[in-house]
Amino acid sequence: MFIRYGYEMSFTFPQATPVVALLDIHRERAKDILDEEPFKARPFASGFTGIDFFGNRYRHFVAPQGQVTISASGVIEDIGCGDAVNCDARETPLSDLPPEALFYLTGSRYCETDKLGQMAWDLFGKGPSGWARVQAICDFVHDRLSFGYEHARNTRTAAETHFERKGVCRDFAHLAITLCRAMNIPARYVNGYLGDIGVPPDPAPMDFSAWFEACLDGHWYTFDARHNVPRIGRIVVARGRDAADVPLINSFGAHEITRFKIVAEEVASPMLDLTELSPQPIEIPVGLRAAF
């Protein structure tokens, strides 16, 4: 199957400002991109690209004073299957975990394992292990939290999410990650494109989402506490310990976002139609930018 993806964002900068953006498709999917309108800044902004500590592709550029619009779009080929499910996957003993997986066991900016550790063991310590334990954590988070874009707050931590019982996709992911790490299961934060493919249209669509991956039997498996069902067409953009590591835009100075359009939809042709990002582009209210 073919998935059309893309974004268009506009910002106002009071002065020339350095910006680091993590908006490119993850390099592991680069081979699947069939057609692409690459990153463009209007007016032109010079810069360079690179790979960060987590293996994500980033763009560094200096935005000029005034309004700046950045955009990119493409068509990617996808196998069209839901997230892999392996109910027999086991937890790996700490002594056998590779160093890079151990890194995803400790607390981080939004994932306070020290605050929720005892609760995690009380809830999940006597139940099944491995895949079943991670799924039990997803079930708990999915059932406990109320989802709504009006709940977006970019400073909310996993512990606050647990007690407030509400949030957006990043909050669902942070809480599940924290509970997994407390149970000695490495877990990492993921963001990327996720359109409503193979599911009924969402009345509040959001084609960019956050989920997480847990390491079982030496393999990173996808889990999604917000939707809590296997989904088709995930396109990974970035991975990190939590959302603090993978902001879409990190400006080193003041800015105001004035426009955000994003799309991820199944299309019949592998050729990109450059006339419009989407026939019915999704407009994300500025106040919801913390959801990403």
Mean pLDDT across 213-236: 96
Q: Which pLDDT belongs to residue 207?
A: 86
Per the CB < 8 A criterion, the answer to whether 215 and 97 are in contact is yes
Please write down the HEC assignment for all residues of 39-106: EEEECCCCEEEEECCCCCEEEEEEECCEEEEEEEEEEEECCCCCCCCCCCCCCCCHHHCCHHHHHHHC
- Asked whether residue 74 carries a pLDDT value surpassing 90, the answer given is yes
When pLDDT is cut at 50, 70 and 90, the band that residue 269 belongs to is confident
Q: Which pLDDT belongs to residue 278?
A: 44
pLDDT tens-place string over residues 130-164: 999 999 999 999 999 999 989 999 999 999 999 99
CA distances in angstroms from 111 to 108, 161, 210, 268, listed in the order given: 5, 10, 14, 40
Phi, psi of 284 (to 5 degrees): -100, 120
Q: Token pair for residue 148?
A: 């709504």
Instruction: Quote the CA–CA distance of 244 and 237 in Å, as a whole number.
Output: 14
Mean pLDDT across 75-100: 94
Neighbours of 148 (CB within 10 A): 12
CA distances in angstroms from 49 to 19, 57, 171, 243, 292, listed in the order given: 12, 7, 29, 20, 22
- Asked whether residue 240 carries a pLDDT value surpassing 50, the answer given is yes
Residue type for position 221: Y
- Asked whether residue 32 carries a pLDDT value surpassing 50, the answer given is yes
Cα 54 to its chain centre, rounded Å, is 14
- Asked whether residue 284 carries a pLDDT value surpassing 60, the answer given is no
Q: Which pLDDT belongs to residue 292?
A: 35
Nearest Cα residue to 73 out of 262, 282, 267, 286: 262
Which string of DSSP letters, residue by residue, matches 164-217? HTEE-HHHHHHHHHHHHHHTT--EEEEEEE----SSPPPSS--SEEEEEEEEET
Per the CB < 8 A criterion, the answer to whether 60 and 50 are in contact is yes
Q: Token pair for residue 147?
A: 């989802």
- Asked whether residue 287 carries a pLDDT value surpassing 70, the answer given is no
Q: Which pLDDT belongs to residue 206?
A: 67
Cis bond before residue 247 (omega within 30° of 0): no
- Asked whether residue 286 carries a pLDDT value surpassing 60, the answer given is no
CA distances in angstroms from 172 to 33, 72, 79, 87, 235, listed in the order given: 29, 28, 26, 22, 19
Residues 6+ apart with CB under 8 A from 28: 236
Instruction: Quote the CA–CA distance of 39 and 283 in Å, as a whole number.
Output: 20
Q: Which pLDDT belongs to residue 171?
A: 98
Instruction: Quote the CA–CA distance of 119 and 235 in Å, as a whole number.
Output: 33
Mean pLDDT across 201-227: 90
Q: Which pLDDT belongs to residue 147?
A: 94
